[in-house]
C-alpha cells in the first residue's frame, strides 16, 4: 500500500482530543510514516487545517505546525484513506448510552460500530485496526465479528492500545508515557501486528515502558486505571467533609498519608470532585460490566466512587448556602473557572456545570469567567433557566458580587489583585475556594470570609462574647 515516500500509512478515525494530539506526536517522531487524521465533522477538520485548532493543549500547535502538510494530514476523505492505510487507529467517542438497554451506564458503541463497518466496506488489503478509544472489555470481539462478516477476504488484526494521557498535559504525557499498553491476540498475526505498533512507539518510548498483554487485559486495564484514579479522588474528598467537621486539614492529612510509599502522593488533591469526559463514563461502564457478569457487590463498590463525587458537589453548594445566610436569591456569584481542570478549554462533565445548575435553582445570579472555556460554558448552560453572564475579565466578573466561587485552579487566579477585587464586591464578601488554590490567610486578612475544602472556615463573623 505504501508509496515510496513513506514506509507506512496510518489513518486515525476520530480527530478529537485523543486522535488529533496522539497522531501529531506519532507524526513528529515518525517522519517516514504518513499520518492522516479523519473525521466526519468538516468543521473540526477545517479547524485542524487552520491556525485556530479545535483543541487547546499546551505544546500542541507547534507540533501540528511542524508536521502538517509534511507527513501529517487532516481530512474528511475517510473512505479513500481507509483503503490506502496499513494501520488504522480508531479514536472516536464512546459516550455513556442515553437510551434503551443500559441507558445511563453502558457505553454507546454506535460510533465504534459505524467506524468498523466503514473500514470493512473500504478495505481491499489487510489492515491492522487499533482500538484507541476506551471501550468495554471484549469489545474487540464485536469489532472482529463486524470486520470479518460477509465474504470479505481481507484480514483485519485487532490491537488494543488505550490512551492514558490527561488533558492539559496531553503532549507531555504522550511524549513521556509511564507506559504504552498494547494488547494483541497470541497468534502469529497478532504478534506481528503488535510488533508493527512497537516499531512506532519505540522511536521515543524506552522498551521497558512498552507493556504487552492479551487483548482483554489491555481493554480492561484502561477502565481499571481510570477507576483507581477516580477512586483516590473520592477517597480524599470523603475525608474532606470529616476534616471540616473536626478542624483537621485535608491537605495535611493527604500529605501525611501520601508520604507512605505504598500509598503515594498523587491524586490526593481534595476539591469539588472529578470532571472530564472519561472518569464518570468509564466507571459507569465498569459498573455495567460487573452487573452484566452478576458481580453486584463489585458494581456497588465502584458506583460509590461516583456517588461520593456527586455528594462532594452538593456539599459545596450546601456550604455556600449556609454561609450566605441560607439564601442566594438575587445574589451575584462570580464563578472563577469553568473548565474541568486548568490548561484546557474542555468543560465536559465539569463540576462547574453541576454547581452552576444547583446555584441557578437557588436563584443566584451567575457571572462566569474562564480564560479558555467560556464558549463551551455557554453551550453547556444553554437553555438553563436563570441569569448568567459570561465575562472574560475576572475583575469585572467579581464587581458587585456577593461571593466568588473558585471552580478551576487556573494559575492566573493566584496572582490577581484581591484587594481590588474585595473593594469592588458587596459586603460581607465571601470566597469559596473549591480547589484549595488560593492563599486563604491573605484573603481573610483582606476582609474576605473564606471557605475551602476540608479546612476550617476563616470568617470575620466572630462571636463578640
Nearer to ligand UGA, 311 or 422 (CB): 311
Alpha carbon distances (Å) from 268 to 282, 301, 373, 408: 20, 19, 25, 16
- Give me the least distance between CB of 341 and ligand NAD, in Å please: 10
Sign of the Cα pseudo-torsion (168, 169, 174, 177, in order): negative
Place of cell 443500559: 102
Q: Minimum Å distance from CB 17 to ligand NAD?
A: 4
- The 3-state DSSP class for residue 127 equals strand
Question: Which of ligand NAD, ligand UGA, none is residue 274 near (CB under 5 to 8 Å by kind)?
Answer: ligand UGA
Q: Is the CB of 190 or the CB of 271 nearer to ligand UGA?
A: 271
Q: Which residues lie near ligand NAD (CB under 6 A)?
A: 13-19, 38-41, 44, 91-94, 111, 114-115, 133-134, 163, 165, 167, 277-278
- Is 290 assigned a catalytic role? no
The DSSP bridge partners found for residue 184 are 214
The minimum distance between CB 458 and ligand NAD, in angstroms, equals: 35
- Considering CB under 6 A, how many residues would be counted as binding ligand UGA? 21
Residues near 463 by beta carbon (within 8 Å), at least 6 away in sequence: none
Please give the residues from 117 up to 136 whose contact with ligand UGA meets the rule CB under 6 A: 134
User: Of residues 30, 278, 290, 367, which has the active-site annotation?
Assistant: 278
- Residue placing its CB nearer to ligand UGA in the complex, 85 or 182: 182
Q: Report the SS3 class of residue 180.
A: strand
Q: Confirm or reject binding of residue 271 to ligand UGA (CB under 6 A).
A: yes
Q: Smaller CB distance to ligand NAD: residue 93 or 235?
A: 93
317 vs 309: CA distance, rounded Å: 13
Taking the C-alpha atoms of residue 191 and residue 189, their distance in angstroms, rounded to an integer, is 5
Cell numbers for 187, please give them.
497468534
Shortest separation between residue 172's beta carbon and ligand NAD, angstroms: 13
The residue behind cell 453547556 is 380
By CB under 6 A, tell whether 106 contacts ligand UGA: no
Kindly state the smallest distance separating residue 383's Cβ from ligand NAD, in Å.
21
All 3 cell numbers of residue 30?
A: 515518525
Least Å distance, CB 193 to ligand UGA, is 23
Gyration radius from the chain CA atoms = 24
Of residues 95 and 400, the one with the C-beta less far from ligand UGA: 95
Q: Which of 274, 410, 430, 432 binds ligand UGA (CB under 6 A)?
A: 274
Rounded to the nearest angstrom, the gap between the alpha carbon of residue 118 and the centroid of all alpha carbons in its chain is: 27
Residue 271 interacts with which of ligand UGA, ligand NAD, none, CB < 5 to 8 Å by class: ligand UGA
Q: Closer CB to ligand UGA, residue 12 or residue 119?
A: 12
Q: In angstroms, what is the minimal distance from the CB of 93 to ligand NAD?
A: 4
Cα–Cα distance for residue pair 166/178, rounded to 1 Å: 12
Of residues 20 through 39, those in contact with ligand UGA by CB under 6 A are none
Which is nearest to 57 in space by CA: 347, 278, 344, 341?
344
Answer yes or no whether residue 340 interacts with ligand UGA by CB under 6 A: yes
Q: Which three cell numbers stand for residue 210?
A: 512498552
Nearer to ligand NAD, 17 or 451 (CB): 17
Q: Tell which positions 156-175 bind ligand UGA, by CB under 6 A.
A: 163-167
**Three cell numbers written together for 429:** 464578601
- Our measurement of the distance from residue 159's CA atom to the centroid of its chain's CA atoms, rounded to an integer in Å, reads 23
Judged by beta carbon distances under 5 to 8 A according to partner kind, the member of ligand UGA, ligand NAD, none in contact with residue 443 is none
- According to DSSP, the residues that pair with 432 across neighbouring strands are 405, 451
* Angle at alpha carbon of residue 134, lines to 131 and 135, rounded to 5°: 85
Which residues are known catalytic residues? 278
- For ligand UGA, the binding residues (CB under 6 A) are 134, 163-167, 226, 229, 233, 267-269, 271, 274-279, 340-341
Amino acid at each position: 500500500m505504501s508509496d515510496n515516500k513513506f514506509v507506512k500509512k496510518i489513518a486515525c478515525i476520530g480527530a478529537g482530543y485523543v486522535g488529533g494530539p496522539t497522531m501529531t506526536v506519532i507524526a513528529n517522531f515518525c517522519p517516514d510514516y504518513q499520518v492522516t487524521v479523519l473525521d466526519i465533522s468538516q468543521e473540526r477538520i477545517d479547524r485542524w487545517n487552520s491556525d485556530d485548532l479545535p483543541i487547546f493543549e499546551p505544546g500542541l500547535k507547534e507540533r501540528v505546525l511542524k508536521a502538517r502538510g509534511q507527513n501529517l494530514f487532516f481530512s474528511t476523505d475517510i473512505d479513500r484513506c481507509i483503503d490506502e492505510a496499513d494501520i488504522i487507529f480508531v479514536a472516536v467517542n464512546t459516550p455513556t448510552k442515553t437510551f434503551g438497554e443500559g441507558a445511563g451506564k453502558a457505553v454507546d458503541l454506535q460510533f465504534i460500530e459505524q467506524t468498523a463497518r466503514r473500514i470493512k466496506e473500504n478495505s481491499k488489503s489487510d489492515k491492522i485496526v487499533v482500538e484507541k478509544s476506551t471501550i468495554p472489555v471484549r469489545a474487540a470481539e464485536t469489532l472482529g465479528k463486524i470486520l470479518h462478516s460477509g465474504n470479505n477476504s481481507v484480514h483485519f488484526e485487532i490491537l488494543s492500545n488505550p490512551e492514558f494521557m490527561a488533558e492539559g498535559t496531553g503532549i507531555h504525557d504522550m511524549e513521556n508515557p509511564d507506559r504504552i499498553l498494547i494488547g494483541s491476540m497470541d497468534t502469529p498475526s497478532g504478534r506481528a501486528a503488535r510488533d508493527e505498533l512497537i516499531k512506532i512507539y519505540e522511536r521515543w518510548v524506552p522498551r521497558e515502558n512498552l507493556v504487552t498483554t492479551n487483548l482483554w487485559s489491555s481493554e480492561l486495564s484502561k477502565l481499571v486505571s481510570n477507576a483507581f484514579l477516580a477512586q483516590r479522588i473520592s477517597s480524599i474528598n470523603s475525608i474532606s467533609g470529616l476534616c471540616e467537621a473536626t478542624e483537621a486539614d485535608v491537605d495535611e492529612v493527604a500529605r501525611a498519608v501520601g508520604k507512605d510509599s505504598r500509598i503515594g502522593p498523587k491524586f490526593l488533591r481534595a476539591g469539588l470532585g472529578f470532571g472530564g469526559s472519561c472518569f464518570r463514563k468509564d466507571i459507569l461502564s465498569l459498573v455495567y460490566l460487573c452487573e452484566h457478569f452478576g458481580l453486584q457487590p463489585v458494581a456497588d463498590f465502584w458506583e460509590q466512587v461516583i456517588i461520593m463525587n456527586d455528594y462532594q458537589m452538593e456539599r459545596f453548594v450546601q456550604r455556600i448556602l449556609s454561609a450566605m445566610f441560607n439564601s442566594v436569591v438575587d445574589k451575584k456569584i462570580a464563578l472563577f473557572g469553568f473548565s474541568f481542570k486548568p490548561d484546557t478549554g474542555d468543560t465536559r462533565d465539569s463540576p462547574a456545570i453541576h454547581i452552576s445548575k444547583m446555584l441557578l435553582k437557588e436563584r443566584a445570579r451567575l457571572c462566569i469567567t474562564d480564560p479558555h472555556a467560556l464558549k463551551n460554558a455557554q453551550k453547556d448552560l444553554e437553555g438553563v433557566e436563570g441569569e448568567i453572564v459570561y465575562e472574560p475579565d475576572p475583575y469585572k466578573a467579581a464587581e458587585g458580587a456577593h461571593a466568588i466561587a473558585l471552580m478551576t485552579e487556573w494559575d492566573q487566579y493566584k496572582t490577581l489583585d484581591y484587594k481590588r477585587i474585595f473593594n469592588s464586591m458587596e459586603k460581607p464578601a465571601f470566597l469559596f475556594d473549591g480547589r484549595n488554590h488560593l492563599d486563604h490567610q491573605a484573603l481573610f486578612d483582606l476582609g474576605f470570609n473564606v471557605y475551602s475544602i476540608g479546612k476550617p472556615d476563616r470568617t470575620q463573623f466572630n462571636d463578640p462574647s
